[in-house]
């Protein structure tokens, strides 16, 4: 991923290597390359505009000091601004899950069908159990697809967490409530609620998940989105964010050839932090999202 951006950034640095100073002209040239690279990487246009404006302001104010060449100085500016857009402060800190509520802390999963929700539930269950020593229960509210419930059972078992079997004749609210009662009685620290996705944005799906959100008052509402969808990822994030108070985003399939623009746009457009990235189909294919690291990866 990010090859285009990386290659372009490398070219920019090379071009500027011979230059002694940052000037209006070489900064303009660099900005043109950055703008093209971001558009090619599927970053949404308003985000590209905002980003290049900030880079320009910062770059022109930047003193080229000591041993830094103009190329290095500009890459530093781009790196800091990319990090900031992806939700990091300048130290590139990660946004963590906020689960410090009365147990069980509920994580509600939202997203379109195929985004990687169920897989991510398994990954999160494993992550929370192994890294944070949490006792985790999972439940599926996807009453429309029995295969989805079976899939959640399988990944939960792989994660060595507990699975709450949903009764197909119950409503999603009854299922969620029953799972919550079970979690309370069995001292689970975290309850992860998987939900039904659709192929596209669908009013009935939105109402169902909004009702679940009202009933459960989750500590985290995570929107799972396929990074390969590029601009569509941003559109669906916007639609979910308008209906649900999302607390974070999980960007999946970053191990594929996603051009990665989604990482930049989704954060900027929804204002919600990316908390994790999916980097594989297996349950260990989950990484905490570090804006600073992602920016370095973009720069190459």
Complex with ligand GDP: residue 114 or 300, whichever CB lies closer = 114
Q: List the one residue from 4, 26, 79, 118 that touches ligand GDP (CB under 6 A).
A: 118
E-assigned strands of the chain?
105-110, 136-140, 162-164, 190-194, 220-226, 248-252, 274-278, 286-288
The 8-class DSSP code of residue 288 comes to E
| Span of 46-54, 68-76, 251-259, 288-296 interacting with ligand GDP by CB under 6 A | 251-259
State which of positions 268-287 bind ligand GDP (CB under 6 A): 278-281, 285
Complex with ligand GDP: residue 53 or 154, whichever CB lies closer = 154
Tell me how far apart the alpha carbons of residues 189 and 136 are, in angstroms, rounded to a whole number: 6
Question: What is the contact mask toward ligand GDP in residues 65 to 104, using x (rule: CB under 6 A)?
Answer: ----------------------------------------
In whole angstroms, the minimum distance from the beta carbon of 281 to ligand GDP comes to: 4
Say if residue 175 is preceded by a cis peptide, omega within 30 of 0: no
In whole angstroms, the minimum distance from the beta carbon of 184 to ligand GDP comes to: 26
Q: Would residue 295 be called left, alpha or beta, if left means φ above 0 and alpha means ψ between -120 and 50 degrees?
A: alpha
In whole angstroms, the minimum distance from the beta carbon of 95 to ligand GDP comes to: 19
Tell me how far apart the alpha carbons of residues 223 and 93 are, in angstroms, rounded to a whole number: 20
| Span of 25-33, 133-141, 200-208, 248-256 interacting with ligand GDP by CB under 6 A | 248-256
To the nearest 10°, report the CA torsion of 119, 122, 124, 129.
-170
Residue 274, φ and ψ in degrees, nearest 5 = -80, 125
Q: List the one residue from 255, 293, 297, 300 that touches ligand GDP (CB under 6 A).
A: 255
Query: Which residue ranges make up the site for ligand GDP (CB under 6 A)?
Result: 111, 113-119, 197, 252-253, 255-256, 278-281, 285
């Amino acid at each position: 991923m990010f090859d285009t951006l990386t290659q372009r950034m490398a070219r920019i640095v090379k071009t500027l290597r011979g230059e002694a100073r940052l000037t209006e002209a070489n900064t303009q040239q660099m900005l043109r390359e950055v703008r093209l690279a971001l558009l090619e990487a599927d970053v949404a246009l308003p985000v590209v505009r905002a980003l290049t404006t900030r880079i320009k302001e910062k770059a022109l104010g930047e003193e080229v000091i000591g041993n830094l060449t103009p190329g290095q100085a500009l890459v530093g500016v781009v790196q800091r601004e990319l990090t900031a857009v992806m939700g990091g402060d300048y130290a590139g800190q990660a946004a963590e899950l906020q689960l410090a509520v009365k147990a069980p802390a509920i994580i509600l999963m939202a997203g379109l069908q195929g985004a990687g929700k169920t897989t991510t539930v398994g990954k999160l269950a494993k992550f929370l159990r192994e890294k944070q020593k949490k006792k985790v229960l999972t439940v599926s509210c996807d009453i429309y697809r029995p295969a989805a419930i079976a899939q959640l059972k399988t990944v939960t078992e792989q994660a060595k967490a507990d699975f709450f079997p949903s009764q197909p004749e119950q409503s999603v609210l009854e299922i969620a409530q029953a799972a919550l009662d079970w979690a309370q009685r069995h001292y689970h620290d975290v309850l992860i609620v998987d939900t039904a996705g659709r192929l596209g944005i669908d009013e009935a799906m939105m109402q169902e998940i909004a009702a679940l959100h009202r009933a459960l008052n989750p500590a985290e509402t995570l929107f799972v989105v396929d990074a390969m969808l590029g601009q569509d990822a941003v559109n669906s994030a916007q639609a979910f964010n308008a209906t649900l108070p999302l607390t974070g985003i999980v960007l999946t399939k970053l191990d594929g050839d996603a051009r990665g623009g989604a990482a930049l746009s989704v954060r900027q457009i929804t204002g919600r932090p990316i908390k994790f990235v999916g980097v594989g189909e297996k349950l260990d294919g989950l990484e905490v999202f570090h804006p600073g690291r992602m920016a370095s990866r973009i720069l190459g």
